Amino acid sequence: DAGITQSPRHKVTETGTPVTLRCHQTENHRYMYWYRQDPGHGLRLIHYSYGVKDTDKGEVSDGYSVSRSKTEDFLLTLESATSSQTSVYFCAISPRGDSYNEQFFGPGTRLTVL
């Protein structure tokens, strides 16, 4: 499992509430990623990080923010959750982060926004 944990694993929340998902890695990799996975869309990149305090947007970043204050932790925040953010969220790490970008995934968080 590449030393990646995600918490919580399941969460049900209500529209308009803030939600924070945590990704934790034990191998000090520089590159970390947040994806969401929805039926028919595959995995889509939300945000990624290439070091402590260094983050950038992905394909579907609207409504999400991230923070990385320590190498091992990458947090994804939904400031005000909406039903369209109901999804499965995966964190990934990469030892390289370049054009040979092998990525390894955490177990996922299933989020339901009512």
- Give Cβ neighbours of residue 2 (< 8 Å, ≥ 6 apart): 25, 27, 93, 104, 105, 106
d(CA 109, CA 9): 4
User: Of the two residues 33 and 74, which places its CB atom closer to another protein in the complex?
Assistant: 33
How many residues in the shown chain lie near another protein by CB under 8 A? 22
Given the rule CB under 8 A, which of 19-27, 42-50, 60-68, 75-83 is the region that contacts another protein? Answer: 42-50
SS3 12: strand
Q: With binding defined as CB under 8 A, does residue 62 bind another protein?
A: no
Q: Which residues bind another protein (CB under 8 A)?
A: 33, 40-45, 48, 58, 90, 97-108
